[in-house]
């Protein structure tokens, strides 16, 4: 990395130096060191190494990290830089201008669907060296909604010094395409939007970012901090059962729904469409787009939702009717409506292949319905593992009932003492709820290694008994148990 830092001695502009330092800091972005902080183990150790070398390249790197690093890295870099300066090491000419940026105008170029938007933030160094930072936000992948405001995912970022040409291109694109929009943003609101999006992206272990995103991450983080604070994102409608029910009722009473051949299946189908929009699209069930519909049909439904045969057949038709009904309420251009409907019909055949009804694998539909009262298809394997005895004399029992679960455990462990049953009951409830997610991951890994179910249950019961009641400790213990036999 210090060899790479020699490039800093050849540049003249602060912007070029910042981009090189950002690329160096991005070398370990997204990497994991288990329980250790990679920014400390690698980033802070790099700074100590740079100080010990005492070269002009090391000082140049320290000068850049003092602006672009994490708060701890910045403090260490500043102290290290002063130490080398006092020792007589030559400073690069651009060092005084690093980070001395002033924010300018901010803009957004986005599609009318609301899938993606490019946020453009302009900056200068004291009125000179104008440049633009472009941040691509994705509202379909990895989005998060706290019930009031939205937070998309940062997919990519890059820098352009041809600001006027970039802005002219965006204006022309919006003028010529009915599917694109371009507008100026308040810099304060821009920061309020970008900060949580950047935080979300950094929190995901495998965020779907571009190959070059890591090189710009430190630069992006610093430039967002340079934007003025105090902005607020406009609130979105609250997600309530009444709001969902009202939307469903209005749709089912519409002419679009009246044309459906299976109205009995339309109700459950539209409930799932609304649920997806509320939980996965920032409380915006009325927003429709080709990408959103494809993800709903080919990704979310096959993974998450248990459908009856009638609902499986009806779902694409209900979704198409919903697209027509919802698009009128959001004023989506007709060309966008047609493109979205084309995407629905293109995905219909693939949906039949992607959605695998568990009953086609020999499972009794009544049994599956008992295991999935909430329709959460992802929960089926872990719940079947937790409570496999739901047939024969136990077929009438309700696995969601605490008393009935106890009877199932007594059947599986005849003559067991109360404390033993209590421990298995706690484990069963955790497996049923998927809390924490690492619990089922560990059980599944042990199954894959050839361990019997009974042995796995007892190893997990023992782990819970020996692990302190701390969520992080529990997750660490589960991970260690997975690794024991590898």
Digit-coded pLDDT (tens) for 273-316 = 999 998 888 888 999 999 999 999 999 999 899 998 999 999 99
Do 432 and 403 lie in a common domain? yes
Spatial neighbors of 304 by CB under 8 A, at least 6 apart, are 375, 376, 377, 378
> Of 230-239, 315-324, 402-411, where does the model show the most confidence?
315-324
Do 129 and 54 lie in a common domain? no
445-458: average pLDDT: 92
Instruction: Please give the Cα distance from 95 to 83 (Å, whole number).
Output: 15
Confidence (pTM): 0.82
Per-residue pLDDT at 359: 81
> Is 369 among the domain residues?
no
Per-residue pLDDT at 258: 93
Do 321 and 414 lie in a common domain? no
The b/e string for 133-171 (b: 16+ C-beta within 10 A; e otherwise) is bbbbbbbbbbbbbeeebbbbbbbbbbbeeebeebbeebe
Do 248 and 195 lie in a common domain? no
In the three-class reduction of DSSP (H, G, I as helix; E, B as strand; rest coil), residue 266 is classed as helix
370-378: average pLDDT: 89
Per-residue pLDDT at 481: 87
pLDDT tens per residue across span 108-163: 999 999 999 999 999 999 999 999 999 999 988 755 444 444 578 999 999 999 99
Domain-terminating residue out of 61, 82, 97 = 97
> Is 232 among the domain residues?
no
> Is 370 among the domain residues?
no
In which domain, by residue range, is 406 found? Answer: 376-484
> Is 278 among the domain residues?
yes
Asked if pLDDT for residue 370 goes beyond 80, the answer is yes
pLDDT-based confidence at residue 32 (cuts at 50, 70, 90): confident
H helix count then E strand count, the chain: 23, 7
Q: Per mean pLDDT, which range of 30-34, 222-226, 386-390, 402-406 is the poorest?
A: 30-34
Of the candidates 44, 40, 38, 50, the one whose C-alpha atom is nearest the C-alpha of residue 2 is 50
Do 166 and 188 lie in a common domain? yes
Domain-terminating residue out of 226, 256, 287 = 226
Per-residue pLDDT at 486: 56
Mean of the per-residue pLDDT values of the chain:
92
Instruction: Please give the Cα distance from 195 to 99 (Å, whole number).
Output: 18
> Is 361 among the domain residues?
no
pLDDT tens per residue across span 165-221: 999 999 999 999 999 999 999 999 999 999 999 998 988 878 889 999 999 999 999
Number of domains in the chain: 4
> Is 439 among the domain residues?
yes
Do 71 and 127 lie in a common domain? no
Asked if pLDDT for residue 256 goes beyond 90, the answer is yes
Instruction: Please give the Cα distance from 461 to 474 (Å, whole number).
Output: 12
Instruction: Please give the Cα distance from 255 to 330 (Å, whole number).
Output: 17
Per-residue pLDDT at 145: 44
Phi then psi dihedrals of residue 281, to 5 deg: -135, 45
pLDDT tens per residue across span 462-481: 999 988 778 888 888 888 88
Burial class (CB within 10 angstroms; exposed 0-12, middle 13-18, buried 19+) of 174 = middle
Contact 17, 94 (CB under 8 A): yes
């Amino acid at each position: 990395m210090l060899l790479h830092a020699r490039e800093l001695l050849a540049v003249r502009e602060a912007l070029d130096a910042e981009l090189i330092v950002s690329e160096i800091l991005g070398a370990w972005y997204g990497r994991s060191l288990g329980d250790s902080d990679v920014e400390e183990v690698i980033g802070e150790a790099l700074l100590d190494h740079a100080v010990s070398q005492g070269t002009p390249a090391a000082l140049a790197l320290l000068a850049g990290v003092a602006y672009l690093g994490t708060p701890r890295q910045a403090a260490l870099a500043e102290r290290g830089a002063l130490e080398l300066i006092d020792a007589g090491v030559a400073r690069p000419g651009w060092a005084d201008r690093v980070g001395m940026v002033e924010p300018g105008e901010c803009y957004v170029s986005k599609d009318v669907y609301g899938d993606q938007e490019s946020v453009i933030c302009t900056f200068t160094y004291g009125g000179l060296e104008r440049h633009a930072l472009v941040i691509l936000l994705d509202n379909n992948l990895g989005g998060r909604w706290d019930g009031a405001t939205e937070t998309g995912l940062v997919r990519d970022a890059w820098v352009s010094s041809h600001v006027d040409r970039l802005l002219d291109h965006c204006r022309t694109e919006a003028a010529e395409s009915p599917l694109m929009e371009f507008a100026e943003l308040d810099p304060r609101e821009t920061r309020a939007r970008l900060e949580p999006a950047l935080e979300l992206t950094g929190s995901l272990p495998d965020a779907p970012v571009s190959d070059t995103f890591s090189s710009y991450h430190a630069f992006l983080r610093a430039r967002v901090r340079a934007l003025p604070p105090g902005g607020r994102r406009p609130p979105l409608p609250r997600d309530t059962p009444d709001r969902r029910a009202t939307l469903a009722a209005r749709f089912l009473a519409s002419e679009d729904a009246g044309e459906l051949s299976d109205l009995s299946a339309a109700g459950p189908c539209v409930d799932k469409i609304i649920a997806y929009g509320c939980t996965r699209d920032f409380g915006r069930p009325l927003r429709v787009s080709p990408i959103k519909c494809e993800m709903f049909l080919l990704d979310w439904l096959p993974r998450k939702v248990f459908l009856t045969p009638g609902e499986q057949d009806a779902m694409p038709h209900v979704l198409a009717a919903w697209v027509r009904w919802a698009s009128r309420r959001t004023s989506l251009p007709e060309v966008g409506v047609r493109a979205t409907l084309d995407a629905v019909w293109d995905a219909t055949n693939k949906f039949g292949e992607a959605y695998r009804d568990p009953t086609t694998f020999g499972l009794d539909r009544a049994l599956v319905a008992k295991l999935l009262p909430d329709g959460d298809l992802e929960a089926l394997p872990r719940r079947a593992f937790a409570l496999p005895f739901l047939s024969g004399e136990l077929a009438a029992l309700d696995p969601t009932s605490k008393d009935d679960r106890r009877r199932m455990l007594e059947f599986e462990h005849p003559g067991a003492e109360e404390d033993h049953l209590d421990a298995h009951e706690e484990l069963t409830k955790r497996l049923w709820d998927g809390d924490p997610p690492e619990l089922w991951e560990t059980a599944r890994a042990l199954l894959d290694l050839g361990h019997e179910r009974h042995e796995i249950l007892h190893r997990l019961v023992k782990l819970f008994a020996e692990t302190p009641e701390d969520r992080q400790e529990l997750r660490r213990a589960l991970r260690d148990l997975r690794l024991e036999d590898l």
